[in-house]
Amino acid sequence: MIDIISTKALYYYISSKAGCAPCKTIYLCAPAEASTSIESAEQFTLESGWQAIAEEQEAILVVPVALNGWDAEPLSLLMDIYNETKNSFHTRSGEAIWGRTGTLWCWETILYLVGYEEGATFAGNVLISNPNMFAGVALVNGVPNDYSKAEAPSSHWMIKTAIEGYAVKNSEIPVHLWLFEDNKEVAQKSVDYFGNSRSNENPAEQVRLFVGNYSSEDTKLSQMIFEECFSHVIRWKNSPDGTLAQINNKEEFYADPRFIRKTAVAGERSYDYFIYLPEKKTADQVNGLPLVFTLHGRGEPAWMFTTKNGWDTLADETREFILVSLDSPGNIWFVLRDNEVFEKIITQMIEEYRIDETRVYLTGFSNGAIMTREMAYCRPHLFAGISPSNGPWFDSRSMQLKDDSKPPKEMAPEIAQMMKKFEESGWEMPCAFFYGDNDPAADARENPALELMLRVNSCEKEPSKVYTVDNYFTLDKGYKDGERFQTEVYCREDQSARVSVTVMKNMPHGTIADEARFAWEFLRQFYRPKGSKKVLNKN
């Protein structure tokens, strides 16, 4: 496709299947002879099989044109193209996530790079200068030859301002790289360089060398790269340079016996939800356990989100709760549309697993955090406590009214009335908020829910305690990233904690497993006696 989408010369292809699902963006650097024009670039995408792959996999394919050869292109080329085009690819399927005005979402977490021959050399040089940009990279018949940016400081492109003391070099950022080369000696320098930063504890941080004679037009090789590499690695947006992780694709997640797929019907809509029991526990053995809901953000369905923030591994570790991850229609939550489904699921969980209905907790990220807050206002009797993470200040009703990425100027009247009724009716609701210090979407200082939660929980206006790595978030307690946390705890007159606000250092719009750990430690103490507006502490 050719369009006025970038000031750079490029060919791009948008899958006709791409819509509300997370959309991978694949950057393809073709051999020199195939990079001299848009027409030759297009022909290479057909011959190599990448256009067919993009179509089938609901992806966007972006192919830069190097009119004067790859050596003439700046190493910033791919980042420049990403920044120019990320909100410019229009849906062909007629479907797009609400709030994007019909454009597809080029997620920072699922960008991939593949290069061939001279294009592989250029792509490898880009990887040295921007190792944090891509989740997965494959280089075929070409290796980098410019290591001049190896010791340069990280661009920490996922956050705007790193805290003082963040001094990570490009050479220290792990990558997920597959090299296809017929000369092992030629490739060894790249293997050694990129391999130095990998951790044996994280299988997503890997450098693999395949030695052999590979053709640039081998469509089976392209298919293998996508299915075995690009489909199984993600760079979570949870730190300045992101964190690599392995991930199942949708089909694998749905087939995984650990996640029990169920369906609930509310109104005219059907909702998939996935039940996760603590490891090695059967349905009979979880009788009486509490229930934790985890809600995905906008555009990030349950199959991608469920293992993102560590609730599943925490369930295995503590063996103290059942986890339910719920999917929303169109990958976005609207409280007026979706509020009925939670009671339906809770009823089903009581019937099938005999959960402790006095200890049901609701957690969510981003748009899921908005939904978490609003469910507390809308149906407080269902929950003993909530934990919204990285929730923007505005409401889901305002989002529902207009297909626009700009935040509303004020709260929708329906939600403002809902909040008022919630408070005047005398409900209590313990709440653990989480925010990132570099989150452009959600700011802890713009939290209209905080004052409300302090009032309904009868908390003092100033925090009674402050938790840091020195007095709470220690390795002994299982916190791996505790130095990034600072938590203000608000208590009642009797010094019982009811509200907390955690700000995470060097955190963009993302989440990490330590959040789930603290949220559970905070929420697990509360229960709501059946029919009561009050929440009690089980201790």
DSSP string across 366-387: THHHHHHHHHHHH-GGG-SEEE
What tens digit of pLDDT does each residue of 453-468 get?
Answer: 999 999 999 999 999 9
DSSP 117: T
The contacts of residue 532 (CB under 8 Å, 6+ apart) are none
Mean pLDDT of the 140-159 span: 96
Phi, psi at 159, each rounded to 5°: -130, 160
Nearest to 523 by CA among 444, 433, 446: 433
What tens digit of pLDDT does each residue of 282-312 get?
Answer: 999 999 999 999 999 999 999 999 999 999 9
Nearest to 219 by CA among 375, 107, 54: 54
| Sign of the dihedral through C-alpha 51, 53, 56, 57 | negative
Whole-number pLDDT of residue 165: 84
Mean pLDDT of the 462-489 span: 97
* pLDDT exceeds cutoff 60 at 198: yes
Beta strands 60-64 and 10-14, pairing class? antiparallel
Is the distance from CB of 297 to CB of 103 less than 8 angstroms?
Answer: no
User: What is d(CA 387, CA 433) in angstroms, rounded to the nearest whole number?
Assistant: 6
The contacts of residue 246 (CB under 8 Å, 6+ apart) are 203, 204, 232, 233, 234
Q: Which amino acid is at 115?
A: G
Phi, psi at 69, each rounded to 5°: 95, 155
Please tell me the least confidently modeled range out of 379-388, 402-411, 482-491.
402-411
Is the distance from CB of 325 to CB of 254 less than 8 angstroms?
Answer: no
Mean pLDDT of the 49-65 span: 97
C-alpha dihedral (107, 110, 115, 120), degrees to nearest 10 = 100
From residue 94, how far is each of 19, 20, 55, 98, 459 by CA, in Å? 7, 10, 15, 12, 48
User: What is d(CA 255, CA 248) in angstroms, rounded to the nearest whole number?
Assistant: 10
Nearest to 169 by CA among 155, 153, 145, 158: 153
Task: Enter the pTM of the model.
Answer: 0.96
Whole-number pLDDT of residue 104: 96
* pLDDT exceeds cutoff 70 at 92: yes
Confidence of residue 1 (pLDDT cuts 50, 70, 90): low
User: What is d(CA 482, CA 486) in angstroms, rounded to the nearest whole number?
Assistant: 8
What tens digit of pLDDT does each residue of 424-451 get?
Answer: 999 999 999 999 999 999 999 999 899 9
The contacts of residue 101 (CB under 8 Å, 6+ apart) are 403, 404, 405
Mean pLDDT of the 387-416 span: 95
Paired strand residues for 435: 503
User: What is d(CA 387, CA 67) in angstroms, rounded to the nearest whole number?
Assistant: 52
Phi, psi at 276, each rounded to 5°: -120, 115
Mean pLDDT of the 185-206 span: 93
DSSP 176: E
Whole-number pLDDT of residue 147: 97
- Containing 53, the helix (H) or strand (E) segment is helix 50-56
Whole-number pLDDT of residue 3: 47
Half-sphere exposure in the Cβ direction for 210 (13 Å, CA): 14
∠ CA(452), CA(457), CA(463), 5° rounding? 80
The contacts of residue 465 (CB under 8 Å, 6+ apart) are 488, 489, 491, 497
For residue 191, count other CB atoms closer than 10 A to its CB. 17
DSSP 226: I
Whole-number pLDDT of residue 456: 98
Confidence of residue 2 (pLDDT cuts 50, 70, 90): very low
Q: What percent of the chain has pLDDT over 70?
A: 99
Q: Which amino acid is at 43?
A: Q
